[in-house]
Amino acid sequence: MSAKVEGLSNVLQNIRNITPIEAAKMNAKLSIAGNVLESGVKEHASLTDHTLKDLADMGHPYSKRYGVDSGPHSDDIVHRQSGLLFDNIEKHENLNMIHSTVEVGVDESKVPYIGDLIAGNGRQRPRNFLGGAYKDKVDEVIAITQGR
């Protein structure tokens, strides 16, 4: 006695037909999640309540000589001054059927001080607004990509 499996070619064809549709759905969700993350990063880089002069008059509250989050706002939110940082927050998408990514960040060649802002330097505390935005938006990103 033997068992016979028929229709394997139909099953494989159905899988090949479904895969692009499902990949397109996931890529759409990933793109929306990227928009949410980009929005969060821009929120974290858009304070306008203090000018550079105001901050100097306050004694440079984000200086290393003061404790973490001792400024007028938490350290993961930065003020928009010239607009250079805010204007160069970029979202890059690489969406395909094999490996899809969405990245939100700032190009160091366009904003040369970004490394010192994120990691801090000899005078200034780290101000990781990218990480702060991710922390604030991660639950929403997960909900979007998991279809909740």
Q: How many CB atoms lie within 10 A of CB 78?
A: 20
Element (H, E) at 94: strand 89-94
Which residue has 């990691």 as its token pair? 119
The answer, yes or no, to whether residue 5 has pLDDT greater than 60, is no
The residues near 116 (Cβ < 8 Å, ≥ 6 apart) are 124
Give the model's confidence band at 69: pLDDT under 50 very low, under 70 low, under 90 confident, else very high.
confident
Q: What is the model's pLDDT at position 6? A: 60
pLDDT digits (tens, 9 = 90+) for 93-137: 998 878 888 999 999 999 999 999 999 999 999 999 999 999 999
Cα distance between residue 20 and residue 122, in whole Å? 51
Cα 30 off chain centre by: 12
- SS3 state of residue 51: coil
Domain-by-domain residue ranges, the chain? 8-145
**What digits encode the pLDDT tens for the residues 49-62?**
998 899 999 998 89
Is a pLDDT exceeding 90 seen at residue 4? no
Provide Rg for the chain, Cα atoms.
23
- In this structure, what are the phi and psi dihedrals at residue 102, rounded to the nearest 5 degrees? -135, 125
Q: Which helix (H) or strand (E) holds 91?
A: strand 89-94
CB 101 within 8 A of CB 94: yes
Report the C-alpha dihedral over residues 98, 102, 107, 110, rounded to 10 degrees. Answer: 110
